[in-house]
Chain A
Amino acid sequence: MAVARTNGLALLLLPSALLFALFFFVPIGLMAVMSLLTGNPVVAANVAFTARHYLRIVNDPYYLEVIWTTIRIGLWTTLISLLIGYPLAHWMARIRSRAGHAALLMAVLAPMLTGVVVRTFAWMALLSDKGVINQILASLGLTTKPVQLMYNETGIVVGLVHIYVPFMVLTLTGVIGRIDERLEQAAESLGASPLRSFLEVTLPLSLPGILAGSLLVFALSISAYVTPILLGGFQIMTLPILIYQQISANFNIGFAAALGMVLLLVSLLLIVAYNRVLGLVSGQHELQ
């Protein structure tokens, strides 16, 4: 009986297993193979294995610069999302009134109901040389020339933070909400000021959430395409833009695949590092 039931339930896994295999492992496997071929085996007759795409990335400082730019934008986006998201998440996790919580949740989620393109255009209206911010600055007499707020990394980071901060907030809210408030009160009864109690108790205990949220936001920002292209105006080259160019303009699928593998590698390295750090900070009390 029990065996049959287990097998029956296991069948329910089949759709998701198939989906994963077909649309996740197969494409990534194909990309990995493609990155090692001289040409596209579907159209070209004689293709051979080669490492030249990877050598090109490693040997040309331009591509290394693009990789570093992508990572840098990811790091800034993550850091700023964390700084904006943490207080908000803490507030949401600790708010007593149900209505207040619902209002905050709506405020966090509402932007996600609008498309990324629309939101990015909204930022362009705000950040451009003749945009809202520059006109206000000029009319107040604070600036004589427009301040360049977009077509640079600042603009991209502003746009990305706006898009990905909800992911940070939602991840952190869950973790902070599970921290017993009485721990903070215990710290206060022992003489810790509210700030000290936060630094000594709440912050270390929310570290898993900080890491998970950061990982999510970082991985999403380094693979973002629309926002960097619109707010960067092709002035800033990131990996996803480069990959798109290689495919659509240069038809160099092998090189694009190699760049894709690099993007994947950055994310993978980060996940490994995340697991390590998480093991270090929470490993001992997982033991029990």
Chain B
Amino acid sequence: MSASIEIAGVSKIYDGGVRAVDTIEIDIRQGEFFSLLGPSGCGKTTTLRIIAGFESPSDGAIRIDGADITHVPAHKRDMGMVFQNYALFPHRTVAENVAFGLRMRGIDKQAIAAKVKAALAMVELSGLEDRRPAQLSGGQQQRVALARAIVIEPRVLLCDEPLGALDKKLRQQMQFELKQLQKTLGLTLVFVTHDQEEALAMSDRIAVMNCGRVEQIGTPVEIYDQPLTRFVADFIGDTNIFRGERVTSDAGPALAAGHGLFLALPASAAGTSLLSVALRPEKISLSSGDTETAAAASGARGTIESTNFLGGAVLYHIALDSGHRVLAQQPNAGAVFVPGRTVKLDWKAADLVVLKD
């Protein structure tokens, strides 16, 4: 039922010469939850609209299950779409909204009624058939939009920041439900979002986009742990980025980050003389610094500037003796370092990720 999508060298250049999307190559597998993630204006929504057929690409092709659909109009593509503002028909009831796609397919009335009922039950909206969209809460409208899109059993479900307008608690619930629904139905789902937590939590794979280009495609773990570029490292989660020259010391390759800070690089870190490395805050462990930990492969000393208590964890802003400012996150184990306190920071050289600029 659901299909794979191939975005082959697609570009979109607007009249003014603006490259909204720049030669994008993405293969979305059948039954995959695929996210297009990036800041606003990165071209993710344009890419989705090109897949949906609302925009035609200036260059490149869109293929679905191998068949070229670049010039197939939107209404013949058999794709469900959930819009950011839901785009429910205000002059029709909930049931009529959900039935719309089925009616367009010329299905007989009894079958429509049964399918609408099943779809509304699936999104837990039974009993609200005769309401108008304006009489529903945001979360309910979101469910109607979802029911309307999946009831036609689309080959691909496209979602344009569908959860953006919901409050946090409801958003997390809907994230879970959408993911469940996608798995149960085996849907190929393309999900556009600027919320990196949402993308990490829900996706099978993510394409991180910036300025119309794809920076990296990978699983959430790959994207988080092995960011390829400085942009990806910076955009996904908190991170510490050090930039400097690659030097070779007795112990192996190291990065001279300036002001006397040397970071031991992983043995695999080859490459140019000038490079950037990323280090996730939670990969740093803090100790009081009173007892020398001899085993530490790499580390530095610093002073706590401020602490953010996150509940399950504590985020420290630390000024290193070299002047660099870093973030370090520790699980909340009871003892919290107070600002002004001198600490020792330790990390494994292998946790440093060398970035492409």
A interface residues (Cβ-Cβ under 8 A, vs B): 97, 180, 182-183, 185-194, 196-197, 200-201, 204-205, 281-282, 284-285, 287-288
Contact = CB atoms under 8 A, between A and B. Distances in A.
Nearest to A288: B134
Contact of A191 (B85, B90, B91, B105): B105
B101 interface: yes
Nearest to A183: B87
A201 B89 contact: yes
Nearest to B104: A191
Interface string B105-135: 1000000000000000000000000001111
B89 A185 contact: no
Contact of B132 (A183, A190, A204, A284): A284
A191 B152 contact: yes
B309 interface: no
A109 B254 CA distance: 72
Given A183-B89, A205-B90, A189 B104 contact: no
Contacts of B90: 183, 205, 285
Contacts of B12: none
Contacts of A194: 73, 75
Given A200-B100, A285-B133, 6 more contacts: A186-B148, A187-B100, A190-B104, A192-B104, A285-B134, A288-B134
B111 to A, nearest CB: 15
B54 A185 contact: yes
A188 B74 contact: yes
Interface of B: 15, 52-54, 73-81, 83, 85, 87-91, 100-101, 104-105, 132-135, 148-149, 152, 158
B9 to A, nearest CB: 24
A201 B78 CA distance: 19
B104 A182 contact: no
Given A285-B132, A288-B134, A182 B91 contact: no
B101 A190 contact: yes
A201 to B, nearest CB: 6
Contact of B85 (A182, A197, A285, A287): A182
Nearest to A190: B101
B83 A190 contact: no
Contacts of B74: 185, 188-189
Contact of B101 (A191, A285, A287, A288): A191
A189 B75 contact: yes
B75 A288 contact: no
A180 B133 CA distance: 14
A190 B85 contact: no
Nearest to A286: B134
B80 A288 contact: no
A285 B148 CA distance: 20
A197 B89 CA distance: 11
Nearest to A282: B91
Contacts of B78: 191
B68 to A, nearest CB: 19
Contacts of A288: 134-135
A280 to B, nearest CB: 12
A282 B132 CA distance: 11
Contact of B87 (A185, A196, A204, A284): A185
B81 A189 contact: yes
B152 to A, nearest CB: 6
B135 A182 contact: no
A197 B132 contact: no
5 contacts: A188-B75, A190-B149, A193-B75, A204-B91, A205-B90
A180 B87 contact: yes
B99 to A, nearest CB: 10
A88 to B, nearest CB: 23
Nearest to B105: A191
B132 A196 contact: no
